[in-house]
Amino acid sequence: MCVTGEESVSFKNPFDATTPLRTGGCRCGHHASQADHDSEMRSRDERLTRVVQSAVVRAIFPHDAARRAFLATVGTSTAIAAIASVFPLATATEVFAQSAAPEKKDLKIGFIPITCATPIIMAKPLGFYEKQGLNVDVIKTAGWAVIRDKTINKEYDAAHMLAPMPLAISMGIGSNPVPYAMPAVENINGQAITLSMKHKDRRDPKDWKGFKLAVPFDYSMHNYLLRYYLAEAGLDPDTDVQIRSVPPPEMVANLRADNIDGFLGPDPFNQRAVYDGVGFIHILSKELWDGHPCCAFAASKEFITTLPNTYAALLRAVIEATAFASKAENRKQIASAVAPANYLNQPEIVLEQILTGTYADGLGQIKKDANRVDFDPFPWHSFAVWILTQMKRWGQIKGEVDYKSIAEQVYLATDTARLMKDAGLVPPTATTKTFSVMGKVFDPSTPEEYISGFKIKRT
Amino acid sequence: MDLSLRFKAHIVTLLVLVALLLAWQLAVGGRGSVVKMDPEYAKLMGANATQGKSAMPGPLEVGTKLWQLLSDPFYDRGPNDKGIGIQLAYSVARVSLGYLLAALVAIPLGFLIGMSPLMNRALDPFIQVLKPISPLAWMPLALYTIKDSSLSAIFVIFICSLWPMLINTAFGVSTVRKDWINVAKTLELSPGRTARSVILPAAAPTILTGMRISIGIAWLVIVAAEMLVGGTGIGYFVWNEWNNLSITNVINSILLIGLVGMILDQLMGRIQRAVSYAE
């Protein structure tokens, strides 16, 4: 079991052939060999360099196995030299790291008070925005539809959104189509299925027929993961159970009032249900798909193109904050920074349990899982493709879907693509990876086959 | 006699209050069953789970919290955490603005409808269809077209305060005694002058009744509107405390919303008494 935190995948040295791959298994097996790299990466510039290199190397070798084989054959230093000869790594890094004065200093960023928003929120009290010369107000917002409308209205310059939302907005499902971009994922993992105490002996999802379950939004990872989980157990999520869209804070109250049997929701509300003694944590979303994205940092294409320096500064701040949050030793400090009423407005002990991963499960056990929630900014295109396959699987989108191009337009695989274009460089193509959800491997290059492989679907 | 009746009424009010508070305290005072827990585990749990404390706070708890809120009503710790005084001020400001805008539209329009049977008939279908729409149903449309959440909230207040004022003004104007209008005609007053110096004072009590109904509705609606759009205001405060599952503060805000609503209503009542007349 993972008990020590480690840097997220985008912050790792892309030239290290021994770095464990994200998919499958525990990430902590190579901790000893990682220690010297960790110390290298203390400085911020190093980390930026690494993010850029990571994007470039992954672009050139989109398949992990191929990259690995290449690195193993020629050796790391040769690899760097070889890539630098065809691709100016140093320039790309400089472009990304240069700090031209932002065009607009006073910004408003909307967030929903859940722990997924941690990097966006903590960047304010811990001074990450300030460091980039920005004066950001983070504004708490009442719900996903409101945050969408306020961002479309330009009341917010950027916002915390659910990872599927920028895709949905760009395609115009659930709202008018507005070109949206998602330059960074905020958190990975960090959700859970929480059930009412009365179901503590019904842990097998096969017995859940007739359950009323809640998810935060139709276009959310929560909805897709819950549907996936139920369908794997042989339940049809549309006919065998009732899935409702309920704002997260009301999930706990509804659980107490016995209106719902459980929910797949964001923290802090899973832990809050435990804290208030009304529910228990059935399973962490991490156990369904380790490393799944959940929430994202999103902005309109217009903001990105009209205020490029502001946007770059903002993104730098968010990436910095995400890097800081990905380290286990910083988690306690973060918990106390985001607990006050101005931010998450939750008891500190609840947030600490979520962020450190040492938590009460509601059934009398203390569990430890340092990666219960983790933070990694890299917006893999394959994440977007997976989300699109689920939208199609459940009938939210119909007909032909151009998975690849939508994913590429919306999920800016690190902002480098745009910044490189500005500097006259060739931006990297899509960065994809395969991963598995509940043991079933997903290959982003064959989305239609993936969908037709499911027994329960709406297509 | 009158004094003793009032005195008796006060006593009864007080007794009812005490009885209610006692019943409340008794209802929430009981402890639920508690499962024995490992102390390490108990540290991670809330009082509801460890001590079987009721999720509903008692009057004492609510009172203490209310005192805390009221003793520092104007603090400002960032955009999402402001004192209760500031939140109430935001709400009152939004209500006043939307309400005044509505009055500016409703009263002249009401005069037009009341004075002209043609306009009365012509505009009636619109009023009949638009009047019963829940003001909050306008919210998504407002957000979409106005593209500003604060203005949308004000628009919702505007639209909900409009109808009672409009209908009452039209009614008040059309039922002004014909004798008085005839007198104005005999004196050869211009229609504008007739409206100002004869119809307005005569219809004022009915208009004010409409305005009093409107302010009540506006105050009801602002709380819901602010819960939807968030940001500032007492509605946002309720939502934010709900988000924290703090029932104590939700109860306190309910109390304060009630108090402010009463004050607004009393104000309109004063003005209404000032313009009323005996025939």
End-of-domain residue from the set A69, A97, A125? A97
Structure confidence at residue A4 (pLDDT):
43
Look at residue A248 and give its three-state secondary structure: helix
Structure confidence at residue A282 (pLDDT):
92
Structure confidence at residue A52 (pLDDT):
62
Determine the distance in angstroms separating the CA of A44 from the nearest CA of chain B, rounded to an integer: 28
Structure confidence at residue A428 (pLDDT):
44
A81 shares its domain with A146: no
In a domain, A364, yes or no: no
Which among B230, B242, B245 has CB closest to A276? B245
Q: What is the dihedral of CA A300, A61, A327, A49, to 10 degrees?
A: -80
Handedness of CA B99, B105, B108, B112 (dihedral sign): negative
- Is the Cβ of B229 closer than 8 Å to some Cβ of chain A? yes
ipTM of predicted assembly, 2 dp: 0.71
Residue A231 zone, left/alpha/beta (φ > 0; ψ -120 to 50; rest): alpha
Distances (CA, A) of A231 to A192, A387, A391, B240: 17, 16, 15, 35
Write the burial class of residue B192 (CB in 10 Å: 0-12 exposed, 13-18 middle, 19+ buried): exposed
Structure confidence at residue A132 (pLDDT):
82
Determine the distance in angstroms separating the CA of B78 from the nearest CA of chain A, rounded to an integer: 6
Q: Spell out which residues of chain A touch residue B225, defining contact as CB-CB under 8 Å.
A: none
In a domain, A4, yes or no: no
Q: Do A341 and B35 touch (CB under 8 A)?
A: no
A407 shares its domain with A303: yes
Parallel/antiparallel/unpaired status of strands A106-111 and A212-215:
unpaired
Q: Do B44 and A345 touch (CB under 8 A)?
A: no
Q: Do B49 and A349 touch (CB under 8 A)?
A: no
A242 CB contacts (<8 Å, ≥6 apart)? A211, A212, A213
Structure confidence at residue A416 (pLDDT):
41
A311 shares its domain with A380: yes
DSSP string, A267-301: TTHHHHHHHTTSEEEEEEGGGTSTT-B-EEEEEEH
* Per-residue tokens: B265: 């209503």
Q: How many Å apart are CA B49 and CA B45, to the nearest integer?
A: 6
The CATH number for A235's domain is 3.40.190.10
- Is the Cβ of B47 closer than 8 Å to some Cβ of chain A? no
Structure confidence at residue A74 (pLDDT):
59
- Greatest pairwise CA separation for chain A in angstroms: 64
A-to-B residue pairs, Cβ atoms closer than 8 angstroms: 106
Q: How far is CA B191 from the centre of its chain?
A: 36
The 10s digit of each residue's pLDDT in B114-133 is 888 898 899 989 999 998 88
In a domain, A361, yes or no: no
End-of-domain residue from the set A241, A256, A284? A284
In a domain, A457, yes or no: no
Q: Do A360 and B148 touch (CB under 8 A)?
A: no
Q: How many Å apart are CA A23 and CA A290, to the nearest integer?
A: 8
Write the burial class of residue B40 (CB in 10 Å: 0-12 exposed, 13-18 middle, 19+ buried): exposed
A231 shares its domain with A344: no
Element holding A435 (H helix, E strand): strand A435-437
In a domain, A459, yes or no: no
A202 shares its domain with A346: no
The predicted model gives B82-111 an average pLDDT of: 92
Structure confidence at residue A81 (pLDDT):
60
Q: How many Å apart are CA A251 and CA A276, to the nearest integer?
A: 12
Q: Spell out which residues of chain B touch residue A268, defining contact as CB-CB under 8 Å.
A: none
In a domain, A366, yes or no: no
A196 shares its domain with A264: yes
A422 CB contacts (<8 Å, ≥6 apart)? A95, A308
Is-contact B31 B52, C-beta < 8 A?
A: yes
Is-contact A227 A455, C-beta < 8 A?
A: no
Q: Which residues of chain A have pLDDT under 50?
A: 1-7, 22-31, 33, 36-37, 39-41, 88, 91-92, 94-95, 416, 419-428
- Which domain covers residue A234, as residue numbers? 191-284
DSSP string, A51-76: HHHHHHHHHH--SHHHHHHHHHHH-H
Q: Spell out which residues of chain A touch residue B51, defining contact as CB-CB under 8 Å.
A: none
In a domain, A360, yes or no: no
Q: Spell out which residues of chain A touch residue B80, defining contact as CB-CB under 8 Å.
A: 138-140, 341-343, 345
A176 shares its domain with A318: yes
A316 shares its domain with A435: yes
Structure confidence at residue A62 (pLDDT):
55
Structure confidence at residue A27 (pLDDT):
44
Please name which of A455, A451, A456, A453 lies closest in space to residue A390, comparing C-alpha atoms. A451
A199 shares its domain with A333: no
Number of domains in chain A: 3
Q: Do B148 and A149 touch (CB under 8 A)?
A: no
The phi, psi pair for A20, rounded to 5°, reads -65, 145
User: If you average pLDDT over every residue of chain A, what do you get?
Assistant: 77
Structure confidence at residue A10 (pLDDT):
55
In a domain, A341, yes or no: yes
A95 CB contacts (<8 Å, ≥6 apart)? A416, A419, A420, A422, A423, A425
End-of-domain residue from the set A65, A97, A129? A97
Task: Tell me the range of A60-74, B32-46, B166-180 where mean pLDDT is highest.
Answer: B166-180
SS in 3 state form for chain B? CHHHHHHHHHHHHHHHHHHHHHHHHHHHHCCCCCCCCCHHHHHCCCHHHHCCCCCCCCHHHHHHHHHHHHHCCCCECCCCCECHHHHHHHHHHHHHHHHHHHHHHHHHHHHHHHHCHHHHHHHHHHHHHHCCCCHHHHHHHHHHHHCCHHHHHHHHHHHHHHHHHHHHHHHHHHCCCHHHHHHHHHCCCCHHHHHHHHHHHHHHHHHHHHHHHHHHHHHHHHHHHHHHHCCCCHHHHHHHHHHCCCHHHHHHHHHHHHHHHHHHHHHHHHHHHHHCCCC
Structure confidence at residue A69 (pLDDT):
64
Q: How many DSSP H helices and E strands does chain A contain? A: 20, 16
Please name which of A202, A213, A174, A358 lies closest in space to residue A274, comparing C-alpha atoms. A358
User: If you average pLDDT over every residue of chain B, what do you get?
Assistant: 86
Please name which of A393, A411, A396, A395 lies closest in space to residue A456, comparing C-alpha atoms. A393
A348 shares its domain with A427: yes
Is-contact A2 A371, C-beta < 8 A?
A: yes
Structure confidence at residue B216 (pLDDT):
92
Q: Spell out which residues of chain B touch residue A346, defining contact as CB-CB under 8 Å.
A: 244
The full set of domains in chain B, from first to last, is 90-229+260-275 (1.10.3720.10)
A85 shares its domain with A21: yes
A432 shares its domain with A446: yes
Mutate to test the interface with A, among B45, B86, B145, B148 (most CBs of A within 10 A): B45
